Structure 1
């Protein structure tokens, strides 16, 4: 951990005359040199399309691409690489599940159970599907600590509940859901369990088989990988019940003028030329996470968060949303400074080289629940250090003085 920052060259740059303090890893993580080199190596040495050529470059590219699928499967504990579908993002994965799985399952009167802390990506696709099918949306309340309330979750389940979808970790509050417990409750009524793992993968160990979720989705760019590559994990039977939502080359087995048959899992869902470089970069990110160690990463981020909570609690006028210890609270610290708009706070911090997020964080319903319109969010990654935290706190005090 003492030398890990050397692997992230962007952390060496200056912003507005100050060292960059990047505290927006929950929006997108920075990329280590290992990942950047892997993408460059593909384009330099293996640039060819996958699955289609018998020549050497194509075979090498296919091996690298499918090798990345295997690495991702191992990272999340999937039974087979065939349970891993590459998409563009968590958002696309959730949309595919709504359109290709939910649309086949739901009828009028059925229910979709969500929670009040979901990202818009885990709300809007289900809203649209509910309108099309006549299904109803229900929402689980939160506890005083900003966590999914298991009692309310259980109380809202019924034989009408067909789909349950929730975030493993909230992108605003950082609260971690008791996924295994909630999945077991949902399965008791026969519901399909979908988990948004965008803010979880890469921060601590994930075992989808132990959690017993039916689908699990996440994005590469939030776990040190490149943008434009996402993952949709599904149990085999559930993927078999899912219809592709994109059609064309690569995903087909045989095409006649009248009919078409599709490839086996998972390639039937990956129409057209895939994001080959993105997948290879994601595979390299998995290698890097394993090299550093997910246990070490989790410990580092929990310590940083705990220190940040302690520091901000000492600043008068700072309201921290759902403050608590680092246990079951990962990486994210959302707050407001009394009398100062979050965008103004973020602007002053940026002038000191400190990058934080300000706004509604694609979570309008959660903002309504908290009784605010927006907030400042600082998110900590394992490549951050005490100097980053000190610069963040100092810049926040400057913002407070500036607007006093």
Structure 2
């Protein structure tokens, strides 16, 4: 299956001159993505922010195909090609991924790519191309297991551990979205050469909406790390309604039943943002977050943040949220009740989170990334004004 976007008539052999300053040179980037989790939002925000830098993106998707709305969104930003190859966490062995490097190299050649921006390190493991490779570790099953299970890795996952390590070592540069996740990678894989920390970013600010007495949370709830059961249990014992937006069933048959909160399955992103913008409190009970876009979305709406006390959230939001133990429902209930009962605290937390969120924008992210692209390409690119 193949989706081709607005730039489908571009000549891949033409000089790399893009929008903006007609004299500026830029990059053709092949960026991998999936439509299952936060990588999609990351890719869309980043592609939009890279446009002023004369960088054009071809998206190469893997895993379950995107919705019609997502296809349209990607096509507005560049070119979208969808592969029938799977994601690493959806298969049982390395053999099932054997065609992925060939697919990436083929599309890169067809598109005349200058750089590969891979949003899954295993995709870099067996590449033979001379094109510079950036691998972004948004998450990985090994660091996930360490945070969520806190027990030895199953034997059946050792192949995935090895493939991730090979991909991290094969890449010319590796990006982690937080210092906490960078440390998790080092703890699991040892030293990672070329590792940089570039925070994710969001462009939308929603701090003007009138607030309702509602607690809002968004996640792919079928993922055990998102801790849906804890939040659903707490919803039965607090004074305000809890809205949990996001899929309760995963692509590999994972599922969770939400009984006490109001569960909204997957909704269009614009609708999600409208609902989130009116929530007085945004909560994230996650046991594992390499970055946590849901918390940033809440901060952008000037909602009071109530967050799991995990290293990533402490790093990014330490002075701008109320924290709770994500393995104790009473801790979550007490944190929520405290914020519900104190309107001055809610207002203060919302303003602190909004101010802190200005550190995490796509423009800052794109500027840092282009510096990395320049380093890898061995040249300095004249930026468009």
Q: TM-score, normalised by structure 1?
A: 0.30
- Bigger relative contact order, structure 1 or 2 (CA pairs below 8 A, ≥6 apart): 1
